[in-house]
Amino acid sequence: MSTENRLGTVLAPPATAADARVPQWSQFTGLYARELLRTFRNPWVLLITVVQPFMWLAFFGSSFSGASPAIVETLFHTNNYMAFLLPGVLSTSMLTVGMFGSMSTIQDKRFGFMKRILLTPTSRSTVYLSKALGSATRGLVQIPVMIIAALAFGVRFQGTPLMWAGWLLGLFFLGFGMCCFFLAVTSSSTDWQTPGVISNFITMPLMFASGALFPAANFPGWMQTIAAYNPVSYSALLGRGIVVNGVPDWTYLGYLGLFATLMLVGGTLVASRYLKIE
Amino acid sequence: MSGDAIRARDLTKIYGQLSAVDHLNFTVRSGSVFGLLGPNGAGKTTIIKLLTGLSEITAGEATVAGFDVRRDPMQVKRRIGWVAAEVILDDDFTAWENLWLQAKLQRVSAWKPRAEQLLAYFDLTDRRKDKVGTFSTGMRKKLEIALALLHEPEIVFMDEPTIGLDPSTRHMLWELIAGVNREFGITVLLTTHYIEEADALCDQIAIIDRGKFVATGTPAELKARVQSDFIEIETTELVDETRWRAIAGVTDVRTEGRSWILRTPSAQTTLPNVFAALRTDQIQRINIEAPSLETVFLDVTGKHLDAAGPEVHDFRKFYSTVRRARQ
């Protein structure tokens, strides 16, 4: 079948039931690129992305600057507190990236753009995946900035490039898993406030009940239990092993990969059913 | 393309206890402009949602461009375009980038020549590299129609396309919509609550109220159906219905409290009889409607189109709020 009009003749897609499964790659790449373009064209996003890591390290990193090296060594098992802190801060920042993906999705629903997308041959799971990956990518941008900031603060790192690549993959797994989780939880919401409320509810316990900022060995029992199942702990411990000691424990990477996979599968199922259009 | 672009049989949508779309049967001929005319909340947008696979059909069935909406929604979406009531574009993107994204979503690989032709057709070539946020409402509407046409759809759904626009922009869009249908050979399903819009653009009109079609036909057929004038009178006190029916020339009477609608073959000849039957201080307001789509609606529903639904939003205000929120 073809259509002919003033703009020429174009073959229409074959009209068969076998063609019901429309490939999604083009739609996915378009929506993923849209996420990145919208994010990084915003000068405020860029500015905060660059400034925030410096602030983290300046404020948090300075909190033990007056302590004697012996106390730091006792508490953190290293006298390089900034190097101890860096993997934890990066893991913590990956916790919050999911919130931005959620807010972007809610914005698309409220302004009708979700309807525009879903009136094209684009599946809900494609929308979901592009949002999750877009948010995770946005989170990754902070990593090189943070590392440069740490170098600027005079931090010295251990580990080989391969170890660092493994750690970055772990951070990506953490961020992607959190994005999948956030998007699934907010898939049926159109309320601007929901992502912020959920973020506050989740981020705080996950951040402090982990080994990201303080050694979990000093936690009470119940917090140690949470930390034992907290993906933030594993991301921080993986990075700390590499950055501080140059000795990675790759089981943490496996755990983070499993976490991302579970969140992706569960989130896709939830979003494909409950993702609202408006 | 020949035959029917859209077929609906017993199309029904129920939300809780409410039948938003109530067992509708209709066909839309390929290449025609089909109008759904009705007040806000009548079920027009719900019909579009059902036909485009955005909302699940409760009962009945529909085919669009030859595909079952429920079984092959993706195939339907490859063959349709959509123009929203409110303009939905990426304001941070240029016109060209919006077209690029639409091409990605519709999986059109060789989209650039088509996009250039559309920009030229809609007189937007000079603004292709400008961010859409800087466009006037008319330009944004044009770009939205261009997006809807990019993948050469067989059918374009236009949901209240001119709502909230000033008269000159509205008339400009009418010409464009007629041109899209005429020159591109595309079937258009249009919803509107503007009677003059339906009259100017549509080959076939279905008047819808509370989820049901109350009249269908060409604009000429619908107007011929009434062939009566209507005298609307609001009285200062209750008047017995028998008094109205006794007036010479009045063929039918409808009432709601102190508002009366008198049907008559000629308002000009009947009006003196009305004045003779009532004291002048009993008449608060009087209005005469000659045969039109408005009187068709009045005839079949007993109310005016603009008074039948919830209040129409201030879309100018809405647009500016949306733009501010996006910035």
Q: Would you tell me which residues 1-40 of chain B have a C-beta closer than 8 angstroms to some C-beta of chain A?
A: 1
More confident residue, A191 or B299: A191
Q: Which pLDDT belongs to residue B2?
A: 57
In a domain, B198, yes or no: yes
User: Is the confidence at residue A85, as pLDDT, over 90?
Assistant: no
A112/B contact by beta carbon, under 8 A? yes
Chain A residue with minimal CA distance to B156? Answer: A119
Chain B residue with minimal CA distance to A38? Answer: B92
B105/A contact by beta carbon, under 8 A? yes
Minimal CA separation from B305 to chain A, in Å: 26
Distance CA B197, CA B200 (A): 5
pLDDT by residue (tens digit) across B148-169? Answer: 999 999 999 999 998 878 888 8
Band of pLDDT at residue A33, cut at 50, 70 and 90: very high
In a domain, A7, yes or no: no
In a domain, A13, yes or no: no
Q: Which pLDDT belongs to residue B306?
A: 63
Q: Which pLDDT belongs to residue B307?
A: 54
With contacts defined as CB-CB under 8 Å, which chain A residues touch B79? 12-13
With contacts defined as CB-CB under 8 Å, which chain B residues touch A29? 104
Chain A residue with minimal CA distance to B75? Answer: A20
Q: Which pLDDT belongs to residue B318?
A: 43
Q: Which pLDDT belongs to residue B77?
A: 95
- Nearest Cβ partner of A17 from B72, B107, B326? B72
State whether B102 and A120 contact (CB < 8 Å): yes
Q: Could you tell me how many CB contacts below 8 A there are between chain A and chain B?
A: 106
Say how many domains are in chain B: 2
B253 with B107, same domain?
no
With contacts defined as CB-CB under 8 Å, which chain B residues touch A26? 104-105, 107, 109
Chain A residue with minimal CA distance to B187? Answer: A3
Torsion sign (Cα): A104, A110, A112, A116: positive
B84 with B142, same domain?
yes
A2/B contact by beta carbon, under 8 A? no
User: Is the confidence at residue B130, as pLDDT, over 90?
Assistant: yes
B81 with B22, same domain?
yes
The SS3 assignment for B236 reads coil
CATH number of the domain that residue B124 is part of: 3.40.50.300
Q: Which pLDDT belongs to residue B312?
A: 38
Q: What is the mean pLDDT of chain B?
A: 86
Average pLDDT over residues A69-97: 79
CA distances, B107 to each of A25, A185, B116 (Å): 9, 30, 17
CATH number of the domain that residue B256 is part of: 3.30.70.260
In a domain, B323, yes or no: no
Domain boundary among B218, B249, B280: B218
B108 with B243, same domain?
no
Q: Which pLDDT belongs to residue B263?
A: 85
Domain that holds residue B280: 228-290
Minimal CA separation from A53 to chain B, in Å: 26
Q: Which pLDDT belongs to residue A18?
A: 42
Token pair for residue B141? 């509407």
Average pLDDT over residues B114-142: 93
Average pLDDT over residues A154-168: 89
User: Is the confidence at residue A230, as pLDDT, over 50?
Assistant: yes
Say how many domains are in chain A: 1
Give the H/E segment covering residue A258: helix A250-274
pLDDT by residue (tens digit) across A34-54? Answer: 999 988 888 888 888 778 777
State whether A115 and B84 contact (CB < 8 Å): yes
Q: Which pLDDT belongs to residue A185?
A: 86
User: Is the confidence at residue B171, as pLDDT, over 60?
Assistant: yes
- Nearest Cβ partner of A20 from B74, B105, B114? B74
B175 with B205, same domain?
yes
Domain that holds residue A98: 40-274
In a domain, A33, yes or no: no
Average pLDDT over residues B15-23: 89
Contact between B292 and B194 (Cβ < 8 Å): no
Average pLDDT over residues A127-133: 93
| Non-local CB neighbours of A38 within 8 Å, separated by 6+ positions | A104, B90, B92
State whether A38 and B92 contact (CB < 8 Å): yes
In a domain, A200, yes or no: yes
State whether A7 and B152 contact (CB < 8 Å): yes
B178/A contact by beta carbon, under 8 A? no
The SS3 assignment for A211 reads coil
Q: Which pLDDT belongs to residue A1?
A: 39
Phi, psi of A96 (to 5 degrees): -90, -10
Minimal CA separation from A52 to chain B, in Å: 23
Strand blocks (E) in chain B: 4-15, 18-29, 33-37, 59-64, 67-68, 80-83, 155-159, 187-192, 204-209, 212-217, 229-235, 252-256, 259-264, 283-289
B40 with B141, same domain?
yes
Nearest to B105 by CA among B146, B151, B159, B54: B151
A29/B contact by beta carbon, under 8 A? yes
Q: How many residues does chain B have?
A: 327
In a domain, A26, yes or no: no
Domain boundary among B192, B218, B244: B218
- Nearest Cβ partner of B185 from A5, A19, A26? A5
- Nearest Cβ partner of B107 from A7, A115, A121? A121
With contacts defined as CB-CB under 8 Å, which chain A residues touch B90? 34, 38, 113
Average pLDDT over residues B234-243: 86
Q: Which pLDDT belongs to residue A165?
A: 94
pLDDT by residue (tens digit) across B20-65? Answer: 999 999 999 999 999 999 888 889 999 999 999 999 999 999 999 9
Domain boundary among B218, B253, B277: B218
User: Is the confidence at residue B80, as pLDDT, over 90?
Assistant: yes
Among A147-161, A221-235, B88-102, B305-319, the least confident range? B305-319
Average pLDDT over residues B71-84: 93
Chain A residue with minimal CA distance to B97? Answer: A34
More confident residue, A156 or A9: A156
Q: Which pLDDT belongs to residue A14?
A: 43
- Nearest Cβ partner of B74 from A7, A37, A121? A121
B146 with B14, same domain?
yes
In a domain, B296, yes or no: no
Minimal CA separation from B52 to chain A, in Å: 7
pLDDT by residue (tens digit) across B177-212? Answer: 999 899 888 999 999 988 888 988 999 999 998 899
